[in-house]
Structure formats: structure tokens, C-alpha cells
Amino acid sequence: MSGDQSGGENDRPETGAFFARDRAWHPPAFAPGYKSSVLRSPQKALLSLDGTLSEITGPVFGHSMLGELDNDLIHNFAKPGESAIGERIIVHGRVLDERGRPVQDALVEFWQANAGGRYRHRKESYLAALDPNFGGCGRAITNGDGHYCFRTVKPGAYPWPNGVNDWRPAHIHFSIFGHGFAQRLITQMYFEGDPMIWKCPIVGAIPDRRAIEQLIAALDWGNTVPMDARAYKFDIVLRGRRSTFFENRPEGN
Amino acid sequence: MAQDLGYLKETASQTAGPYVHIGLTPNFCGIGGVYEADLGASMVNDRTLGQRITVTGRVIDGAGMPLKDALVEIWQADAAGLYNSPSERRGAADPNFAGWGRSPTGADDGMFTFETVKPGRVPFHDGRLMAPHISFWIVARGINIGLHTRMYFPDEAAANAADPLLARIEHRHRAETLVAAGRTPNYVFDIHLQGEKETVFLDI
């Protein structure tokens, strides 16, 4: 990590505060259909405040921290010469902000279950088999155009203890850093055409159908590699920031 | 009709789920060999300037139980009050201090731990100095959108009393939820998701 990189498409790093978050677009903290949220949701009003320096700044991650296989989940945990089992897919897209500008140097981290719907975790109890060649985590940093990509196997759906018969649709977890700590976001990506998306209580916590559709990656036929891997395109939008039309400077600066 | 502003909507948040450690601290949860070390596990080196401090704490649910599947990230200024970020225009921060840390809450005791330095003071919008603070962000299973809050220091009573953010808290006793316990150099900051001691969370 270093602080010597440029902060976006402009030469001059941006210093404006972020747009207020549209909380009606996100799932509410308390969503009783998702039982775990009941005892883990704040019940008092949030304290709302325009972002200060502490929120409009954020850590920078250099491309040099990445290993060659960091964005290749088919191989980054596999024994030499072997690979993970499952449907080979490429997931790619752009990280943009609400103004439509690409967010460059954004750290994107992802994790997922294996092709059978099983996570590599000691608390995981689903009876589907572990894949000895699949760890389930990866990361990438966006280029100047805001683009990222990785290769993986399509995760399986799996049952989870919530309702008697609740299943998670196939999904990949995403964690994204933009340029400010207030942009920090974790979300999940779903797959086009999966009927289970609409049965999931975690998805269903999102009040607006358009916000759910924004989480569904499209099958990207154009970028599908013949005889190799299908592509899915998933764009991610982070909070936009205000332009600093007029800078208020303390006297003397 | 007026012109279309052309703005996009922010991607909706989803819970980090029970296995966030697989993705963000894989070495901690036994997935070795993918990354050399977990990102954000170490914040200081021998040359980092400032007073070394340790911040530990737990994230506690509405039934009083510490979360063992949470992930906590912190972001703070260096000892001189500068952020190591391109958006910091007041000067260059300590090159030996990134200012960002990440800790899982432990599988046994639910504790998070950060070895860091005490941050300097940073100005508010109007130029007044805020009291030294560390920004926190908490995610876990059952948390649908990451929670932002701040930790202030118990041995900065005068600065805390003049802090513009703390001053905005209407119910004065709730401001105490943002002030750590303990004393130099070991601070304890428990985060309560619900209940009488519910931490003040920020929409910021």
C-alpha cells in the first residue's frame, strides 16, 4: 500500500464529500425474514453527518501487492497441474461511481462456495463435498478504466438454516474499496436466469426490485471464450462524490 | 421534463454472510497459500512515527453475545493528523503508516485487535479540530449494510468535549458509547449493536 498514486481519471485527486446514501435502496438493518438480522440490527436512528476528511479519504492499494493467481480461483488453491472442479466462468465488469465515472485502483475481493455449494470453512456443515483444489477467495484491482476480471467456477446453490427450507441462490460475495472510507461496500452477485434469486430472504430484504436486478450479472456472450469459459458481466456502482465547485479555504491558505 | 442527470444508483449492499473470513482474512480461517498474509493484519513497522497503542474489543448482539463471525476495519490519521490518501491535500502522511487495518473477531472470544498508533487531530468542515478518533466499519452475518462508527479516546476529555461530531449527539449519555475504555496504551472499544448501550452508528 502506498499513498503516491493518482486518485482517479483526473490528475488532481478529488476532495468532495460523498453523495448521501439512499438508504431506501439498500436492505434495512432489521429484516425479520432474514433471522440473523433480528439481534444484529441497530434500532436507534443513525447519526447523519456530511462526510469529513475522515470519511472522504481512504486507503490505497497498489497493483504490486497482487500475486499472479490472485484473480484465478480455478488455480490459486489447486495443486500444481490440477484445477478446481465445476463450470468454468469468467466474471468481469467495471467499478463506477454514481456519476458514471470509472473508479480506478479499487480493490475488489471476492469469495464463494465451490461448485457443489460448499464453503471451505470449519463451521460449514452442508453435506456437499469439499473440492481439494478450491479455496474460494480471490482479488483484483481495477485498471484506469475501472475494469476488473477473474476466473472461477460457478458456485452451487446451497441450503441454510433460516426458514425450514431456505436455499441461497448461486452467488459470489464482493467487497469493494473505492477512494473514500465512506464508499466501503460489501454485496453479492447473482446469475442471470436463476429462479432461486426471487425465493431468497437475503435478496428479499432489498425493497426495490430494480436494486435486486442491479445485483444480477448478465451472461456476456461476446466475452465468452469458445471451448473454455462463459463470461458474466457485473458492474458495481459506488457512492459518487460532490464536485468541489467552490473551495472553502481557511484564511491564509 | 428536465434534463436527465444521468446518475447511477449505488449497488445495493448485501450481508457479508457467515464466511466473510474466507474472502477477507483467508489465512486466519485456515486457507493458506493463496495470499502471503491477510491484508490489514499489520499496521505499524519499526519506523512508524507516534505512540504505539492497542485497541481491542468485541461486537455484541442484542442478546449480549459477542459475534465470532464479524469483520472489523479501521481507518485513521497518522500521529500528525494526516491521512495516507490521495484526497489528503494538507501534506504527506507518514510513509510507514497506511492508516488502515482489518481484524476478524476471534473464533473463541470474539475479540478484534489492532496494533496501531494514536492518531493526531484532523480538522472538521469549518476548520475546527476534531478530537483524535479512529473510524470503524463492521460487517457480519445478519448485518445487511456495513456499520460506520468512530472510537474516541478516554484520556482526551477536553478535546472530546469540543468535538463537532460528538456535539451532534442529542442524547448526551449516548456520546459515551463512542469513547473507548482503558488507558494508554491499551484501549478497549466494545460495539453494541442493540440495547441500552447501543453504539451510535453513523450515516456519513
- Report strand pairing: A47-48 vs B202-203: parallel
* pTM confidence score: 0.95
Mean pLDDT of A33-61: 97
- The answer to whether the Cβ–Cβ distance between B19 and A111 falls below 8 Å is yes
What dihedral angle (degrees, nearest 10) is formed by the CA atoms of A132, A136, A142, A143? 10
Of B108, B75, B110, which Cα lies nearest the Cα of B93? B75
Q: In angstroms, what separates the C-alpha of B124 from chain A's closest C-alpha?
A: 6
A247: pLDDT strictly greater than 90: no
Q: Rounded to an integer, what distance in angstroms lies between the CA atom of residue A94 and that of residue A234?
A: 7
Is position A171 annotated as part of the catalytic site?
yes
- Interface ipTM: 0.97
B196's grid cell: 441500552
- Domains annotated for chain B, with CATH where assigned, are 20-192 (2.60.130.10)
**Own/partner pairs for A193-196, CB < 8 Å, 24+ apart?**
A193/A219, A194/A157, A194/A169, A194/A170, A196/A157, A196/A167, A196/A168, A196/A169, A196/A170
Phi and psi of B82, rounded to 5°? -115, 140
B97 three-class SS: coil
| Interface membership of A162 toward B (CB under 8 Å) | no
Is position A75 annotated as part of the catalytic site?
no
Cβ-Cβ contacts under 8 Å between A and B: the total is 288
Residue of A148, A158, A190, A232 marked catalytic: A158
Is position A34 annotated as part of the catalytic site?
no
pLDDT in tens, B157-172: 999 999 999 999 999 9
A184: pLDDT strictly greater than 70: yes
A186: pLDDT strictly greater than 90: yes
A253: pLDDT strictly greater than 80: no
Q: In angstroms, what separates the C-alpha of B200 from chain A's closest C-alpha?
A: 7
A232's grid cell: 458474466
Query: Chain B residue closest to A71 (CA)?
Result: B34
DSSP letter, residue B91: -
Query: Chain B residue closest to A72 (CA)?
Result: B34
Q: Of A54, A72, A171, A174, which to mutate for an interface test with B (greatest number of B Cβ within 10 Å)?
A: A54
Q: In angstroms, what separates the C-alpha of B128 from chain A's closest C-alpha?
A: 10
Q: What is the pLDDT of residue A7?
A: 42
Q: In angstroms, what separates the C-alpha of A96 from chain B's closest C-alpha?
A: 9
Q: Rounded to an integer, what distance in angstroms lies between the CA atom of residue A162 and that of residue A201?
A: 9
Mean pLDDT of A159-164: 97
| CATH architecture of the domain with range A73-238 | Sandwich (2.60)
Please return the burial class of A145, using the count of CB atoms within 10 Å of its CB with bins 0-12, 13-18 and 19+. exposed
Please return the burial class of A152, using the count of CB atoms within 10 Å of its CB with bins 0-12, 13-18 and 19+. buried
Q: Rounded to an integer, what distance in angstroms lies between the CA atom of residue B97 and that of residue A201?
A: 41
Q: Rounded to an integer, what distance in angstroms lies between the CA atom of residue B37 and that of residue B42?
A: 9
Q: How confident is the model at residue A15 (pLDDT cuts 50, 70, 90)?
A: confident
Q: What is the pLDDT of residue A248?
A: 58
Which among A13, A42, A111 has the least Cβ separation from residue B87?
A: A13
Enumerate the β-bridge partners of residue A88. Answer: A153
- The answer to whether the Cβ–Cβ distance between A184 and B146 falls below 8 Å is yes
- The answer to whether the Cβ–Cβ distance between B100 and A37 falls below 8 Å is no
Residue of A75, A147, A173, A242 marked catalytic: A173
For residue B199, the chain A residues in CB contact (below 8 A) are 42
Q: Which residues of chain B have pLDDT under 70?
A: none
Name the residue ranges covered by the structural domains of chain A: 73-238
- Amino acid making up residue B179: V
